[in-house]
């Protein structure tokens, strides 16, 4: 079947998403920007975000050039195409984050203005439409990038360079560089943005809320603007790059596995190209779903966001079944994609239960945590951590079920039990991420409304507008927790597909002394040692990031206290704080703190394979996935629950103690403490782990020939 059909559909779908995103952006910038004070505050946030991205992207560009040159030299005849793919993948990931920040920083003041003039519903429309620009843009860039690169190398590279017929499998291996570029940038962006945002958030809360009892976004707080900047560079640029990276990795892994099956059939099957078609269907469904998110007047926006997700899911299911039937492929493939999507919805539902103020009828973790906060800080910390642990159970069971069901379905396709089974697992990962345009739209909405609330408070807007933004912020916080859970689940299944692609790649190594893997034996001490080392990587990585937040926040806390101490007029409202100083501390510190963990993770992956061999490297990947998945889910959901506990206590609906009384301040301080513990959990370490898993998997797969040769050389040197 002609590749033109699949590539054309993917590229056109991607272009459609980009066009709709640009059209929506034009509508947003025409909206009312609010008064002069709102524009001033928003301008400071915008300037700070651009300043951080400028520094971060300068370092990333240097890193990309060095690694690209390294790849070009090491990978022989395919070195330059892989290096170019890597460079383009890095640029695309940076572009995804930068576009999101542009839209978010321009939408916050427009959302605030809509809340003042129109209330809840108009403000929600502005914020969600702005979020959809980010969501649709990253979905579109992924499809256009992968489709265009496949076409480029198919026509530019001569057939004589390829050893396989058809050359599809080797083409996808070249494009692995694109995914590796996207994932390394995503890891830097997520880790750096996470350290930045939680440095500012933790510092602002500790000195502002607890020590001086001033509101969260009070303009008297020197860290208020840095906190708002952090929402953009962490939750928008970082998460956007993360979801984009997972989407590309899932498509690539399924394409490599499908191409390996295709060459054994005449006529050649289209399994290697099908993942792009499925992703294109999901993007079209997201475009339609975004326009159907319309809450009723003064209604909680949470259900409207959920309806949009459910409708997008339904569209994807219908379209996928129809396309598979039209292509005369087994309906089992469509069912596998649907299984993955259902797993994603289930993980999102689990996150919603454990982090929102709704819970289930008889199981309400966050309201129960509010009761714990009324007792002591220890009670709140223990209950939040315990609920975080419990939230792992249904999510992991959902992921395991999706993997097993899709594998069983695929093993009966007639492509080979292992080959067909693992291909359908990879398709499940593609299905899970297929509606990422809609998912990311909901996620980007969160920091936009959070910023809007800050703009409103600093502009001293009417109380009604602040209440409207509080409602938007609460639903946005839950949406972010759901998206993080969704991304973690997607990463877990994607990494399993990448793991299978790694196993397949070992069979194509033409290196004397290297035997391809068909399975991984845990009874082998080398494999078990590799698994234990792999399990340590997400643990150590999390510790490095959280300690980075702690060290960087120490510097900012001292700066805030210095300003309050030396300029008493700040707290009296007669002197303007030095916002730029806090922004500078967050920027320099986050760049400095993100480097060690990222580089160590990549180096440990390569070193394990060189010293212990490729079997141990396979165990390393398995151990990292197991430990990383559990840690990421725990930190994501526990952090989201602590955050919403604080929001309930700050809301007008909280009536146990009257707001402003001594008892209320005591409980509020406790809830802020819980939130400060949860901040680096849910916004720094937790969401960065799923990107870490993709990076180390792609590192192992891309550098496999180099690792295998160095391992043989090392063995010959010492034994």
pLDDT single digits (tens) 161-171: 777 656 777 78
Instruction: Please name which of 667, 587, 555, 650 lies closest in space to residue 203, comparing C-alpha atoms.
Output: 555
For residues 293-318, give the mean pLDDT: 77
For residue 371, pLDDT over 60 is answered with: yes
With beta carbons less than 8 A apart as the criterion, state whether 541 and 688 touch. yes
pLDDT recorded at residue 631: 93
How far apart CA 520 and CA 486 sit, in angstroms, is 28
pLDDT recorded at residue 306: 72
Instruction: Please name which of 305, 460, 372, 361 lies closest in space to residue 642, comparing C-alpha atoms.
Output: 372
pLDDT recorded at residue 282: 92
- Surface-to-core class of residue 113, CB atoms within 10 Å of its CB (0-12 exposed, 13-18 middle, 19+ buried): buried
Strands (E), 136-246: none
Instruction: Please name which of 54, 76, 72, 75 lies closest in space to residue 64, comparing C-alpha atoms.
Output: 72
pLDDT recorded at residue 104: 85
Instruction: Please name which of 528, 546, 534, 518 lies closest in space to residue 693, comparing C-alpha atoms.
Output: 534
**Any idea which of 259-268, 425-434, 547-556, 605-614 has the lowest mean pLDDT?**
259-268
pLDDT recorded at residue 78: 84
How far apart CA 597 and CA 293 sit, in angstroms, is 39
**Any idea which of 179-193, 195-209, 489-503 has the lowest mean pLDDT?**
489-503
pLDDT recorded at residue 355: 85
Count, in order, helices (H) and strands (E) of the chain: 23, 0
Q: Output the CA–CA distances (angstroms, integers) from residue 719 to 513, 539, 711, in the order listed.
A: 14, 33, 12
Exposure of 404 in the CB half-sphere (CA atoms within 13 A): 6
For residue 1, pLDDT over 60 is answered with: no
For residue 614, pLDDT over 70 is answered with: yes
Higher pLDDT, 597 or 666: 666
Percentage above 70 pLDDT, the chain:
93
**Any idea which of 83-87, 215-219, 398-402 has the lowest mean pLDDT?**
215-219
Q: Output the CA–CA distances (angstroms, integers) from residue 275 to 135, 493, 500, in the order listed.
A: 19, 14, 16
Residue 214: band (very low, low, confident or very high) from pLDDT cuts 50, 70, 90? confident
How far apart CA 222 and CA 211 sit, in angstroms, is 14
How far apart CA 177 and CA 93 sit, in angstroms, is 13
Non-local (6+) Cβ contacts of 67 within 8 A are 86, 184
With beta carbons less than 8 A apart as the criterion, state whether 172 and 162 touch. no
With beta carbons less than 8 A apart as the criterion, state whether 188 and 97 touch. no
For residue 541, pLDDT over 90 is answered with: yes
How far apart CA 425 and CA 686 sit, in angstroms, is 24
pLDDT recorded at residue 479: 66
Render pLDDT for 319-355 as a digit per residue (tens, 0 to 9). Answer: 999 999 988 888 999 999 999 888 887 887 888 888 8
pLDDT recorded at residue 299: 65
With beta carbons less than 8 A apart as the criterion, state whether 86 and 181 touch. yes
**Any idea which of 196-205, 271-280, 411-420, 493-502 has the lowest mean pLDDT?**
493-502
Higher pLDDT, 655 or 638: 638
For residue 490, pLDDT over 80 is answered with: no
pLDDT recorded at residue 590: 82
pLDDT recorded at residue 143: 93
3-state secondary structure of 407: helix
pLDDT recorded at residue 374: 94
Residue 481: band (very low, low, confident or very high) from pLDDT cuts 50, 70, 90? low
């Amino acid at each position: 079947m002609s590749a033109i059909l699949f590539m054309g559909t993917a590229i056109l779908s991607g272009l459609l998403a980009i066009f709709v995103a640009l059209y929506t952006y034009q509508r947003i910038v025409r909206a009312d920007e609010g008064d002069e004070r709102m524009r001033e505050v928003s301008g400071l946030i915008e300037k700070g975000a651009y300043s951080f991205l400028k520094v971060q992207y300068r370092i990333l560009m240097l890193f990309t050039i060095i690694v690209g040159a390294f790849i070009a030299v090491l990978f022989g005849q395919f070195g330059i195409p892989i290096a170019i793919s890597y460079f383009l993948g890095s640029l695309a990931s940076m572009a995804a984050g930068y576009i999101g920040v542009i839209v978010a920083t321009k939408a916050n003041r427009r959302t605030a203005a809509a809340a003042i003039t129109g209330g809840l519903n108009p403000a929600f429309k502005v914020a969600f439409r702005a979020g959809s620009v980010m969501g649709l843009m990253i979905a579109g860039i992924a499809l256009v990038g992968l489709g265009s690169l496949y076409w480029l190398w198919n026509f530019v590279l001569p057939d004589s360079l390829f050893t396989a017929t058809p050359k599809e499998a080797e083409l996808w291996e070249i494009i692995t560089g694109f995914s590796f570029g996207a994932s390394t940038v995503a890891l830097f962006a997520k880790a750096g943005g996470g350290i930045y945002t939680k440095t500012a958030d933790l510092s602002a809360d500790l000195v502002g809320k607890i020590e001086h009892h001033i509101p969260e976004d009070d303009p008297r707080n020197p860290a208020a603007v840095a906190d708002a900047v952090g929402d953009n560079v962490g939750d928008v640029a970082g998460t956007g790059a993360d979801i984009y990276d997972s989407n590309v990795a899932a498509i690539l892994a399924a394409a490599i596995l499908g191409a390996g099956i295709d060459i054994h059939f005449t006529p050649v099957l289209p399994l290697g190209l099908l993942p792009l078609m499925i992703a294109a269907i999901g993007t079209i469904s997201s475009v339609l779903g975004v326009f159907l998110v319309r809450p009723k007047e003064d209604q909680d926006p949470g259900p409207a966001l959920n309806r949009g997700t459910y409708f997008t899911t339904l569209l994807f299911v219908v379209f996928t079944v129809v396309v598979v039937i039209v292509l005369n492929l087994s309906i089992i493939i469509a069912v596998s994609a649907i299984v993955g999507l259902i797993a994603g919805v289930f993980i999102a539902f689990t996150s919603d239960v454990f982090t929102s103020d709704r819970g289930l009828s008889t199981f309400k973790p966050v309201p129960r945590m509010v009761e714990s906060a009324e007792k002591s800080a220890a009670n709140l910390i223990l209950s939040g951590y315990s609920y975080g642990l419990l939230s792992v159970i249904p999510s992991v069971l959902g992921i395991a079920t999706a993997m097993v069901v899709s594998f069983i379905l695929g093993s009966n396709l007639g492509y080979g039990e292992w080959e067909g089974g693992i291909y359908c697992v990879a398709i499940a990962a593609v299905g899970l991420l297929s509606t990422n345009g809609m998912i990311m739209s909901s996620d980007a909405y969160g920091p936009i409304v959070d910023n809007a609330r800050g703009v409103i408070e600093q502009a001293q807007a009417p109380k009604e507008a602040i209440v409207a933004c509080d409602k938007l912020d609460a639903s946005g916080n839950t949406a972010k927790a759901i998206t993080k859970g969704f991304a973690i689940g997607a990463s877990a299944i994607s990494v399993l597909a990448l793991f299978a692609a790694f196993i397949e790649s070992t069979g194509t190594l033409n290196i004397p002394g290297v035997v391809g893997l068909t399975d991984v034996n845990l009874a082998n001490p080398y494999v078990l040692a590799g698994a234990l080392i792999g399990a340590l990587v997400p643990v150590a990585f999390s510790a490095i990031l959280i300690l980075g937040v702690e060290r960087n926040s120490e510097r900012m806390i001292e700066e805030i206290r210095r300003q309050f101490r030396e300029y008493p007029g700040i707290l009296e409202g007669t002197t303007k704080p030095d916002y730029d100083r806090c922004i500078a501390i967050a920027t320099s510190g986050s760049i400095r703190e993100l480097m060690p963990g990222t580089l160590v993770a990549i180096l440990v992956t390569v070193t394990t394979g060189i010293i212990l061999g490729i079997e141990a490297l396979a165990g390393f990947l398995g151990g990292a996935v197991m430990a990383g998945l559990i840690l990421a889910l725990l930190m994501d959901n526990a952090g989201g629950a602590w955050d919403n506990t604080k929001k309930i206590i700050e809301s007008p609906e909280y009536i146990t103690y009257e707001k402003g009384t001594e008892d209320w301040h005591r409980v509020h301080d406790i809830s802020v403490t819980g939130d400060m513990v949860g901040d680096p959990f849910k916004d720094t370490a937790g969401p960065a782990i799923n990107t870490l898993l993709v990076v180390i998997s792609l590192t192992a797969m891309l550098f496999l020939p180099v690792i295998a040769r160095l391992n043989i050389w090392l063995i010959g040197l010492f034994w």
